[in-house]
Chain A
């Protein structure tokens, strides 16, 4: 009898071997030198075999012993999926690679507009349905230990300790190799290689037991087949519903199980591996199931009544003293369980950490405080913690459920649970109209029905009482968990699968059709459904120096040739490499990405490096991030442009006012000299003549009178000039008092014309249009007349026509009148038009008699009167328009 200690030793040795293999593979992969065989389709095919867990290794025989050929459905489903790879799996793998998908939850979330809610839902669903499955593996390892313990009376075997030890050991293995580093594409060469080795071990073990049973006990193929026919399971008996449902269910689970998704899609090195796996994996499954029925039949025949048929694979060799074979068989079962648990824990931890832990952590993190390296560490710790947590959950479930139920039942419950993802998955891959809300609703409904019809009833007596099971909750018959809506007579599994998936699909489609997908969803939908048009070929991932060249070329374009060369040189020195270019290690890529992001923004640099190193297409989110950055830059540049336009405008205005100021200053200077001159001329003559008057002893009285007259005239001229200056100053300071009164515009004009032309030698001709001038205005009529006089006097003074004439035209407009003064001279030159209303401005000083204050005074007066005066261009001669409000009649 094999001693338990030997078994434990062998077991530990096997685990150490797995460690070495995994470590070796990881080491090679990390150095980018992974051997050809490590990336061969064979390894890929073998890694798929984690589908065959302890449930299939032990449970298939048990299932066959209970229900005959039904066990085979579990293998037929995946076979059908694999042979149809061209339409289904190929698309899934392509999507997974081009979108850098890390888990099934990630896939669904990416498809439905990066919805984290959906990812959390799928993650929870996965954890809930896979935990029992992990418990199942723990149970099978424990059971197989127990069998050996029974055979070895000297041992002290403890169920609980074993389970605990096994759980801790598996968690350690998964943590060691599943979370050693954080790879962008989530590949784990070490684990995959170890899993492939385990796949060989379990196949060899089962085949060895099968060959021993068929040829060693049964006596060849023919006699064994006869024995099968004679055994209790010897005649064809299968429930048609169960048969097809189970094939469907296993096919669905093959695609949806997180661990299967991990090895099929995430760990896929090369899409073309599917081509080999499409026939090799079904072959593997066929070999795995080839001897199941013979073992079951012979076991039923030769083993004692009370033997658990689940453990025939172990018990038969043991009972016949074949310890070596039993040991091998044990290792087979052990391999099945460990590989499944490790990969499942890894896959689940990725999901939990990416979709639940990290979002929470990032939200609680103050923005800007995190560095890339920090996050990586946090992710790794989160994953490790999650693996531990998941294993603990599995262990707890095992302890709580007591580990009594037949293996196959738990397996099917898990399958049905995880299959709830199927409608959203298939819909997401093939139907662009599928929406996030549809997927969420479908999964939620399906999950609820599954929980109610399958998981809770399967958990034993504790959850649902007998009365609930038989009469429905609160006595409502159509709510019975096994006969929902009165659908009786179906097998419970078929019943639960039928209702949950039907509800799921119907709700998914209905909600999708009713709603409308968001833009991101539509984009992602198109990316997924038409993935073959959107992504590059099925090329493998490889780190090579060729990539460094590409990176170099890209960096040169972005950073500039010399800077890029310097950066690459320093990196190469840091790596201690001797080649021309540094190896594209993750550290290097990270630094390069940071370097580039300084120039082109984080998102764009990430997308570019991903494009070159990853070979995956740029995801929509990357593009959106790039678009965001570009939009920001555009906005900045727009703002800059606006600012500079404003500045330019201001500068232009400043220039204009500066010109004006300079002009005014020049005018002032010339006016001052003019004023001095004007003041000096009369002053000089006043002084001269007054001196003559004072000094002359004798003077004719008429001379005396003439001189006094000159002095008087000059004094008057002086006082007029001073009056003008005072007037203007008063007007400008707003200290003027206006004397409003009612009057006729025509009278004002009459007065003005008469005053302006009095005493003029050759008065110009004034043309007026008579009756229309009779407009009643309320204004300061004296001031108004002053303006008119000024304008008429100007025309008289400056009009250079041979027969000078002035047209005065009165026009009504709205609430006022225009009074236009147009002469027939040459008008005012363009360059002076701007200045004529300024003080001290004179168009032609040689002609002017005044000080250039007239028009300035006119403008001030008109502004005070609420009107305006302006120069009109293009009227032939000089033309001024006085606009004047009519004003309210000032009544008595």
Chain B
């Protein structure tokens, strides 16, 4: 879901006025700041997601302590 959100957000600048088609194009600095903000947002979301995973996916996180491969002996 994050990649989709990211993809959509990063597609937004495509709708902004460009040099070739408009006499008053969007300045590069604005786009730059926008893209990096989206980027940072994605990073933060991923960070939070990672923390959330630690909380709700115990089975995944705690697996090394669980007797996973001793269940079936030779």
Contact = CB atoms under 8 A, between A and B. Distances in A.
Contacts of A283: 43
A17 B59 CA distance: 41
A286 B43 contact: yes
Contacts of A275: 50, 53-54
Contacts of B20: 237
Contact of A608 (B18, B19, B36, B74): B74
A554 B54 contact: no
Interface stretch (A222-230, A329-337, A689-697): A222-230
Contacts of B49: 83, 86, 278
Contact of B39 (A79, A540, A608): A79
Given A236-B19, A236-B25, A237-B19, A279 B50 contact: yes
**A-side binding surface: helix, strand, loop or mixed?**
helix
B29 A83 contact: no
Given A80-B6, A537-B63, A554 B73 contact: yes
A290 B69 CA distance: 45
Contacts of B53: 86, 275
B2 A537 contact: no
A680 interface: no
Interface in B23-68: 25-32, 35-36, 39-40, 42-47, 49-50, 53-54, 59-64, 66, 68
B58 to A, nearest CB: 11
A72 B19 CA distance: 18
Contacts, number: 135
B29 A538 contact: no
A566 interface: no
A247 B6 CA distance: 11
Interface residues of B, number: 49
**B-side binding surface: helix, strand, loop or mixed?**
helix
Interface string A232-249: 011111101001100100
Contacts of B63: 536-539
A238 B69 contact: no
A465 to B, nearest CB: 32
A84 B2 contact: yes
A294 to B, nearest CB: 9
A76 B43 CA distance: 11
B54 to A, nearest CB: 7
Contacts of B36: 286, 290
Interface string A78-106: 01111111100000000000000000000
Contacts of A84: 1-3
Contact of B46 (A226, A234, A279, A290): A279
Interface in A822-872: none
A480 B54 CA distance: 53
A236 to B, nearest CB: 4
A892 interface: no
B32 A69 contact: yes
B31 A79 contact: no
Given A76-B10, A229-B29, A275-B50, A537 B35 contact: no
Given A236-B16, A236-B18, A282-B39, A540 B31 contact: no
Given A244-B11, A286-B39, A237 B18 contact: yes
Contacts of B69: 536, 611-612, 615
Interface in A42-94: 68-69, 72, 76, 79-86
Given A72-B35, A279-B50, A282-B43, A237 B25 contact: yes
Point out which of B10, B28, B43, B47 has the most chain A C-beta atoms below 10 A from its C-beta. B28
B13 A238 contact: yes
A293 interface: yes
Nearest to A551: B74
Given A279-B43, A290-B36, A537 B3 contact: no
Contact of B29 (A226, A237, A238, A550): A226
Nearest to B66: A537
A623 to B, nearest CB: 13
B28 A228 contact: yes
Given A235-B28, A282-B46, A558-B74, A79 B18 contact: no
A236 B17 contact: yes
A540 B36 CA distance: 35
A308 interface: no
A276 interface: yes
B10 A247 contact: yes
Nearest to B15: A240
Given A278-B50, A279-B43, A537-B63, A234 B28 contact: yes
A272 interface: yes
B8 to A, nearest CB: 11
Nearest to A225: B29
Given A247-B10, A275-B50, A611-B69, 10 more contacts: A68-B28, A233-B28, A234-B28, A235-B26, A236-B18, A237-B25, A244-B14, A276-B50, A538-B63, A611-B72
